[in-house]
Structure 1
Amino acid sequence: MNAEQPIPRVALTWLLVAQAVVIIPHLEHLPLWVVGLWLGCAFWRVQVFRMRANYPSGLAKLALVGAAGLGVWFSRGSLIGLDAGVVLLIAAFIIKLVELKTRRDAWVLILLGFFAVVTSYLFQDDILAAAFSLLPVTALLAALIGLQQSNFAARPGSTLRLAGGLLLQALPLMLLLFMLFPRLGPLWSLPMPGGKATTGLSDSMMPGDMVELSQSPELAFRVSFKGEPPPRSQLYWRALTLENFDGQRWTQAGQRRDAPAPQWQRQGVALEYQVVMEPSDHPWLFVLDVAENGASDAQLMSDFRLERRSPVRQSLLYNTMSWPGALLEPNDNRRALRLNLGLPAGGNPRARAWARELRERYPQPRELAQAMLREFREQPFAYTLKPPATGPERIDGFLFETRAGFCEHYAGAMTFVLRAAGIPARVVTGYQGGELNPAGSYLLVHQFDAHAWVEYWQAGSGWTRVDPTGAVSPERIELGLEQAMSREGSFLAGDPFSPLRYRGLSLLNGLRLSWDQINYGWQRWVLGYQGEQQGDLLRRWFGAPDSPWLALVTVGGGALLLAALALGLFKPWQRQRDVQLRSFERFEQMLTPHGLRRDAGEGHRDFSGRAMLALPEQAETIRAYSEAFEAQRYGGATVDPALLRAHLARLRRELPWRWRRHR
């Protein structure tokens, strides 16, 4: 096939279909002008095919590329980065359509299309997205088949069936490579698309941050415990420890990865669980205190958060063991204590005065913390997603004026007062609780489960968790945010179509949980099948990842699969059952010793005519066999192998004796 020949109609049709289904998964994050660009380019290319428009000139193509670049710049703010790069790729995939002239151009477009399909997994990697990606792959294969010069390739239905068959034939080899082929790390590292980091915990906290996050129904992570999960009130998923306060915002203290590990003592029963975490574009992991054995590249930092070396930019599965009853730094850690007593030089005088008063009445840290909880519980404090403004002195305004706020208001104010009273304290952010999916016996933790609480230090006891939100709104800790906000009616108020708002409808909620169970299984057994999981499986099967049996199984299994595919394609057993073709092969063999060989592409009638001219004495017998073969093969006559054998037997008798010696 000449690569410079024009593109057939069926190939162009499938290219247009392929572009449409390639773009569909990207619609959620593509700017609207990309859709307009595709509609315009598709219409232009169809008009070119109908000879009602010309191909774009060099200047027109340059203008299209420049306009696409400007569009990416204004919509993404940059031409660098994964998000902008994907938009540029899709734009190039679209613009290439209008200049398609030859089959070579179509091949380039098809290869771009396969690459664009892969980029969709950067934004959505659940089982529905994986199933949908088979559609553009099939359409691209159909376009590739349509480029061939044959009557078969000119039929859209036939090309589609063949493309689907090729895809199905590739599945066994794909599964073998998925199971056994080593996992390779990325060849480059770029920031996640902007849409992946728009929800989730920030590395700092000020009043109002978690109020916004509490309106997001997005999933943060799923957890399955080995055995019964703890009560909801004990599920405090630690992410960050915030130890610096500038009067407005709580932030992390700078820590080096080579800093000494924190000191802690195991107590109580350990909890074993597995977490499947959604991409967050941050390095910290979500664990119960105190965690060990997270991801292979994770480290327990000096403030007890678990952090990876690189951000979580795709779904991550890790197994963890935690000791909820452990003692956290029960001995003096001067640096940590000094850091967690720091406050701005001025500001919030009423809160500082209250702290001095409390310290005089309650000299022990535990007593003072309990006194503050009683104050929150007995005074008219309110837990709300619509906190009023507090003015410049935020702690004073909250504690003594508005007395209404969300978890970050209570955690920040209590930590401030404890520090002002001379007690080391810090804010911890993460998630609290989780929704149990009874179908799969695992927990779903959503973004609206984001929470902030307090840790204070006391000699001998170490860091102790205390949650002032639980004193104001026990429903938030025991039952969750939805129950705590039932009277206010503010739960997911900005997302009225979220199925999480209708968990009271048993049928709808059951469908939601069943579908989530399917996605959870997909994440655990497919997306979670990474280096560690693959290594564990190979060690169970072969003893060691570098075992010669592994190479033998990989190579041998691949060879067997390819052999099975070859048998399926060529079907040699059907050729053996085709008595007509087998008879004609014998006919050819009988004439070969007499210098008669059928040329490539020569039909049976032409070959028989040439044989009659070369062997005039046997011409009638050759004609009789040829007519009988043609009648049975192409004329619809009843297949009669005995008749064909009889003609061949007569020909064998009439041929010169040398045939009998060479037959």
Structure 2
Amino acid sequence: MSWWRARKASPAIPRVSLLWLLVAQALVILPHLGHLPVWIAGLWLVCATWRIQVFRMRTTYPGALTKGFMLLAAAVGVYASRGSLIGLDAGVALLVSTFLLKLVELKTRRDALVLVFLGFFVVLTSYLFDDSLPAALYSLLPVIALLAALIGLQHSGLGEKPWPTLRLAASLLLQAVPLMLVLFVLFPRLGPLWSVPMAGEGGGRGLAESMTPGDIAELSQSSELAFRASFDGSPPPRSELYWRALTFEHFDGRRWSQLPEPPRAEPAWRAEGPSLSYSIVMQASGQSWLFALDTARTELEQTRLMGDFRLQRRRPVEQNLLYRVTSWPQALREPQASPRLGVALQLPEDGNPRARRWAAQLRQRHAQPQALVDALLAHFARERFFYTLKPPLAGADTVDHFLFDSRRGFCAHYAGAMTFVLRAAGVPARVVAGYQGGEYNPDGNYVMVRQFDAHAWVEYWLPGRGWVSVDPTFQVAPERIEQGLEQALPAEDAFRAGTALSPLRYRHVEWLNSLRLSWDSLNYAWQRQVLGYQGEAQLALLRDWFGQVDGRRLGLLLVASAALLLGALALLLLKPWQREHDPLLRLYQRFERLLARHGLRRQAGEGPLAFAERAARALPAQAEEIHAFARRFAQQRYADASPDPGALRRALRRLRRRLPHLWRDAPLRPLDGAGGQPPDNCYARPSESAQLLREESP
């Protein structure tokens, strides 16, 4: 039971520490409210109110039964709102709930320490949901509040002063920044021991593994960022930016989908024409495919080019990902026939009879596949087809309805219909889904691609030429490819439905748009230079700075840099060059600091004997020791030819033993006289001290 006695003997929590704990809890949970159940905010209000009432002695701490019930209710609430107690969302919700519930049983300093350290951990979990620059800057606020609560637990003179406690916490955090930078640059980047599934990963964000025309139309109403791409040099024209993500080869009559990819080597292709080198910062999608221009090659670990020419990663993209790519847009892709061509001719056994008959007619009129493709594109350009996000509802034969009845649709309608007709005519074809275009940001020389840039186009196969890309949407709405969706659909409110509060709505206001682009450029630099500083990026930088770097050399460099930095920080804080070298004056400074802790500070120009007289009146029980030290100091400082610091040190020690221990007593009493730090020349008045010494000498 010794631990129980130690717990009961532990000092109570100071008011200032409790105050900063409450503030810290509010700041910690605030960024989580967007993805946590709403009742979490109510739970914090209940716990905070209960603890405040306990502090005001208007209620008591909850008993064991009450605490058990509250914990069980929180677990049931998490399960009811998330459907599980396992996973990122549920795990963070449970962690935040226990972080809040700990407040109601907060009795001792040990409880407060547990709460503070748990708060630091909850702050870290917020980066799993948002690692942007604003989120990183905001996280400093709860960290400072938690440090202030930690300082307030020390029962020092700051125990009743909230703002000095906060200033000290901010100062400590600022002092830690240099060491943090050294660790950031030099500490080895280790791979994760396990994979943490991201929130909302069930269906991913953005494109999915299958497509109906309505899916991309719905996605095009979102202004959420998909990725940013920075080219080595000027980016290509917008009309050439076709960012491949998925290849749909199976059609069931309504939906296009991917086929399972058998394990195989990289597809046959040959690089031709100029190459493009660029880097991409991809937003977390919960999916395993990457975005790139055709035909792509990357050195990213656990990533390869699949048989349908998409880039596939072994793990889903659960956090923002930086990778470099080299693409050859004019590459020759699979010029020789392969078993995959059979898949590219698959169609359902029945359905869409008019489209099948039309395909047979086109095949009779155009024996060459390329001529058939040209005729099909000319048909889209010549006939009255319309590009819209609001096509009429179709029946069972979706392709027939689009080609011969409504003639209204989005890119997925045109790509799906063209692929169907080509297959029915005997030309291998497939649908490619990804993004087209992007907004160029001149501030950072990169392209921003958003969800409303989602697009679908067609690939068909020709002997000797391999896979050739074509975009039927360009025949109907060329402004969609050359300028963007907003210019292609200026009159449709559906495009703006997902951007009600987005600054994209105000791109026509020049200064607002410039401010938006500058802010995005700053965020992009954060993503690339800070969050993208991983593995290969770290090794490349260290090789540029220090040459060949191995584990031993990196460890020595890290230790030496940290020691040098801590030494410089210690010199800056301790300022040994400002310390008094005279042993007598150093002892007198200790004497002044000792009395200052009891509210007695020497006034400017006040001699040592006059100060001792005033201090003796304030502390009559220690008057003899105060006078003894002051007389001995004046005698050795101004009269003796060979001073004895040892005797003066013993006199100071006797005075210290007679003075009460302030850390066990009440707060300091008010200062006696005009307080303040003594000036630098406070000891340079020997005439007054000598005069007082002569007057007191027998």
Tell me if both proteins adopt one fold, taking TM over 0.5 as the criterion: yes
Structure 1 residue matching 2:330: 3-state secondary structure? coil
Q: Which amino acid aligns with 2:444?
A: G
Task: Judge conservation of contact 1:542–1:550 (CA < 8 Å) in 2.
Answer: no
- Partner residue, 1:426: 430
- Partner residue, 2:503: 499
2:456 to 452, 455, 469: 452
**1:179 corresponds to 2:185:** yes
- Partner residue, 2:394: 390
Residues 623-634 of structure 1 correspond to what in structure 2 (within 5 A)? none
Task: Judge conservation of contact 1:197–1:280 (CA < 8 Å) in 2.
Answer: no
Q: Which amino acid aligns with 1:209?
A: D
Task: Judge conservation of contact 1:583–1:645 (CA < 8 Å) in 2.
Answer: no
Mapped partners of 1:141, 1:577: distance in 2? 35
Label 1:634 to 1:291 Cα distance change in 2 as closer, same or farther (>3 A).
closer
- Partner residue, 2:421: 417
**1:309 corresponds to 2:314:** yes
Q: Report the more deviating stretch, 548-557 or 318-327.
A: 548-557
- Partner residue, 1:343: 347
Mapped partners of 1:534, 1:293: distance in 2? 18
- Partner residue, 1:296: 301
- Partner residue, 1:119: 125
Mapped partners of 1:613, 1:163: distance in 2? 41
Structure 2 residue matching 1:641: 3-state secondary structure? coil
- Partner residue, 1:473: 477
1:90 to 81, 91, 96: 96
Label 1:10 to 1:338 Cα distance change in 2 as closer, same or farther (>3 A).
same
Structure 2 residue matching 1:152: 3-state secondary structure? helix
Q: Which amino acid aligns with 1:27?
A: L
Q: CA deviation at 1:632?
A: 13
Q: CA deviation at 1:451?
A: 0.5
Q: CA deviation at 1:514?
A: 0.9
Aligned residues: 635
Task: Judge conservation of contact 1:237–1:288 (CA < 8 Å) in 2.
Answer: yes
Task: Judge conservation of contact 1:276–1:317 (CA < 8 Å) in 2.
Answer: yes
Label 1:276 to 1:291 Cα distance change in 2 as closer, same or farther (>3 A).
same
1:640 to 683, 689, 694: 683
Q: CA deviation at 1:247?
A: 1.7
**Structure 1: which 5+ runs fail to align?**
589-602, 655-663
- Partner residue, 1:438: 442
**1:512 corresponds to 2:523:** no
**1:28 corresponds to 2:34:** yes
Mapped partners of 2:344, 2:688: distance in 1? 101
Q: Report the more deviating stretch, 629-638 or 123-132.
A: 629-638
Q: Which amino acid aligns with 1:178?
A: F
- Partner residue, 2:272: 267
Label 1:636 to 1:28 Cα distance change in 2 as closer, same or farther (>3 A).
closer
Structure 2 residue matching 1:396: 3-state secondary structure? helix
- Partner residue, 2:326: 321
Label 1:633 to 1:340 Cα distance change in 2 as closer, same or farther (>3 A).
closer
Mapped partners of 2:588, 2:492: distance in 1? 87
Structure 2 residue matching 1:260: 3-state secondary structure? coil
Mapped partners of 1:438, 1:526: distance in 2? 21
Q: Which amino acid aligns with 2:284?
A: P
- Partner residue, 1:231: 237
Label 1:141 to 1:580 Cα distance change in 2 as closer, same or farther (>3 A).
farther
- Partner residue, 2:149: 143
Structure 1 residue matching 2:434: 3-state secondary structure? strand
Mapped partners of 2:424, 2:484: distance in 1? 31
Task: Judge conservation of contact 2:36–2:89 (CA < 8 Å) in 1.
Answer: no
Label 1:586 to 1:414 Cα distance change in 2 as closer, same or farther (>3 A).
closer
Label 1:636 to 1:255 Cα distance change in 2 as closer, same or farther (>3 A).
closer
- Partner residue, 1:211: 217
- Partner residue, 1:530: 534
Mapped partners of 1:305, 1:586: distance in 2? 74
1:279 to 280, 284, 306: 284
Q: CA deviation at 1:494?
A: 3.8
Q: Which amino acid aligns with 1:217?
A: S
Structure 1 residue matching 2:246: 3-state secondary structure? strand
Q: How many percent of aligned residue pairs carry the same amino acid?
A: 57
Structure 2 residue matching 1:208: 3-state secondary structure? helix
Task: Judge conservation of contact 1:223–1:273 (CA < 8 Å) in 2.
Answer: yes
Residues 536-582 of structure 1, C-alpha deviation per residue, up to 9 Å, x if partnerless?
Answer: 11122222231654333211110011112222333323332799742
Task: Judge conservation of contact 2:223–2:498 (CA < 8 Å) in 1.
Answer: no
Mapped partners of 1:418, 1:372: distance in 2? 9
**1:249 corresponds to 2:292:** no
Residues 358-409 of structure 1, C-alpha deviation per residue, up to 9 Å, x if partnerless?
Answer: 1111122211111111111111211111111111111111111111111111
Mapped partners of 1:97, 1:578: distance in 2? 52
Structure 1 residue matching 2:118: 3-state secondary structure? helix
- Partner residue, 1:592: none
Label 1:13 to 1:524 Cα distance change in 2 as closer, same or farther (>3 A).
same
Task: Judge conservation of contact 1:456–1:465 (CA < 8 Å) in 2.
Answer: yes
Label 1:635 to 1:28 Cα distance change in 2 as closer, same or farther (>3 A).
closer
- Partner residue, 1:110: 116
Residues 317-373 of structure 1, C-alpha deviation per residue, up to 9 Å, x if partnerless?
Answer: 11111000111111111x110111111111111111111111111122211111111
Q: Which amino acid aligns with 1:134?
A: L
Residues 208-246 of structure 1, C-alpha deviation per residue, up to 9 Å, x if partnerless?
Answer: 100110011000011111112111111000011111112
**Structure 2: which 5+ runs fail to align?**
1-5, 593-617, 640-647, 656-671
Task: Judge conservation of contact 2:296–2:326 (CA < 8 Å) in 1.
Answer: yes
- Partner residue, 1:202: 208
Mapped partners of 1:48, 1:587: distance in 2? 42
Residues 134-180 of structure 1, C-alpha deviation per residue, up to 9 Å, x if partnerless?
Answer: 00000000000011111223311111111011101111010001001
Structure 2 residue matching 1:174: 3-state secondary structure? helix
Mapped partners of 2:133, 2:181: distance in 1? 16
For normalisation by structure 1, the TM-score amounts to 0.89
Structure 2 residue matching 1:153: 3-state secondary structure? helix
Q: CA deviation at 1:461?
A: 0.8
Structure 2 residue matching 1:388: 3-state secondary structure? coil
Q: Report the more deviating stretch, 525-534 or 81-90.
A: 81-90
Task: Judge conservation of contact 1:355–1:421 (CA < 8 Å) in 2.
Answer: yes
For normalisation by structure 2, the TM-score amounts to 0.85
- Partner residue, 1:594: none
1:359 to 353, 363, 377: 363
Structure 2 residue matching 1:187: 3-state secondary structure? coil
